[in-house]
């Protein structure tokens, strides 16, 4: 999750949970079948052909199944990272490949933070940085409101809240009509204890004609903020 600090306020705890809603809203492009839903990817049989319960009467423990699933998911993420790294190297003008690379790296880092999934040969921070760099390259090729917010979210999760705030302050000054940018900016301000700015940003998100999901998120965030 985003904020893992002792003694965090009630709103920060709620913000840790509900920011994931905005992450889902912001990451609109599917990532080669890999994303939050991939955490429940089906298990695959081992290459060595360990005997099934039909052959031996043995059962596979849930821990073993979980380990196999995590290994499969790790392989999927690593293969996708390599695929899109090769794609951007061979076609550096294709902005879609940069966006997909950013999404995969972000999703892998998120999955690792929320469980025990390995990120080898990267650290979680390195995955977030890959995501940030890929989104930056994508934005240089073609502007995108969604990707601008995605990059700020990745920056936030990588521990640089000040930079995440600066990115969305700049973005909202240029485009004050994208509700998801205001919503995330409000959460980032709240994470820094800047309650007044958080409330103002969230209210501007409501003024920006948000979709229903974003509106619900903002209303819940304002209610939580008012309780502090």
| Domain boundaries, given as residue ranges, for the chain | 62-158, 160-228
pLDDT above 70 coverage of the chain, percent: 71
Confidence of residue 14 (pLDDT cuts 50, 70, 90): very low
Question: Residue 195 has what pLDDT?
Answer: 96
Cβ 186 vs Cβ 178: under 8 Å: no
Fold equal for 62-158 and 160-228: yes
Domain covering 160-228, topology:
1.25.40
Please give the C-alpha separations between residue 162 and each of 105, 117, 126, 142, in angstroms, as whole numbers.
21, 28, 19, 25
In the numeric block, which tokens belong to residue 213? 């999901």
How would residue 227 be classed by pLDDT, with cut points 50, 70 and 90? confident
> Cα 201–185–102 angle (5° rounding)?
150
Q: 62-158 — its CATH code? A: 1.25.40.10
* Band of residue 18 on the pLDDT scale cut at 50, 70, 90: very low
Residues 11-15: what's their mean pLDDT? 36
Q: What's residue 41's pLDDT?
A: 27
End-to-end Cα distance, the chain: 21
List pLDDT tens digits, range 100-127: 999 999 999 999 998 889 999 999 999 9
Q: pLDDT tens, 166-175?
A: 999 999 999 9
For residue 133, CA distances in Å to 6, 38, 96 come to: 30, 24, 14
Res 150 pLDDT > 80 = yes
pLDDT band at 71 (very low <50, low <70, confident <90, very high): confident
CA-closest candidate to residue 158, choices 187, 126, 133: 126
pLDDT (mean) for 172-182:
97
- Tell whether the model's pLDDT for residue 36 goes beyond 80: no
Q: List the one residue out of 206, 208, 99, 87 whose CA is nearest residue 143.
A: 99
- What is the per-residue pLDDT for 68? 74
What mean pLDDT is predicted for residues 201-226? 95
Q: List, for residues 55-68, the tens digit of each pLDDT value.
A: 434 444 666 666 77
pLDDT of residue 50: 29
Mean pLDDT of 35-50: 27
């Amino acid at each position: 999750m985003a904020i893992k600090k002792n003694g965090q306020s009630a709103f920060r705890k709620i913000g840790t949970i509900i920011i994931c809603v905005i992450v889902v809203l912001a990451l609109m492009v599917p990532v080669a079948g890999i994303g939050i839903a991939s955490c429940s990817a089906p298990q695959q049989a081992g290459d060595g052909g360990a005997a099934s319960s039909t052959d031996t009467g043995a059962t596979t423990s849930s821990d073993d199944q979980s380990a196999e699933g995590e290994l499969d998911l790790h392989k999927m993420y690593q293969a996708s990272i390599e695929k899109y790294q090769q794609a951007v190297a061979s076609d550096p003008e294709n902005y879609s490949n940069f966006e997909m690379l950013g999404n995969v790296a972000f999703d892998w880092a998120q999955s690792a933070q929320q469980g025990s999934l390995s990120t080898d040969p990267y650290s979680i921070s390195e995955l977030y940085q890959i995501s940030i760099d890929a989104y930056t390259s994508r934005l240089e090729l073609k502007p995108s409101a969604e990707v601008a917010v995605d990059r700020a979210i990745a920056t936030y999760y990588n521990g640089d809240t000040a930079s995440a705030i600066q990115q969305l302050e700049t973005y909202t000054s240029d485009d004050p009509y994208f509700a998801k940018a205001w919503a995330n900016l409000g959460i980032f301000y709240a994470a820094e204890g800047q309650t007044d700015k958080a409330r103002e940003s969230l209210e501007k998100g409501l003024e920006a004609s948000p979709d229903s999901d974003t509106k619900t998120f903002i209303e819940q965030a304002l209610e939580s903020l008012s309780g502090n």
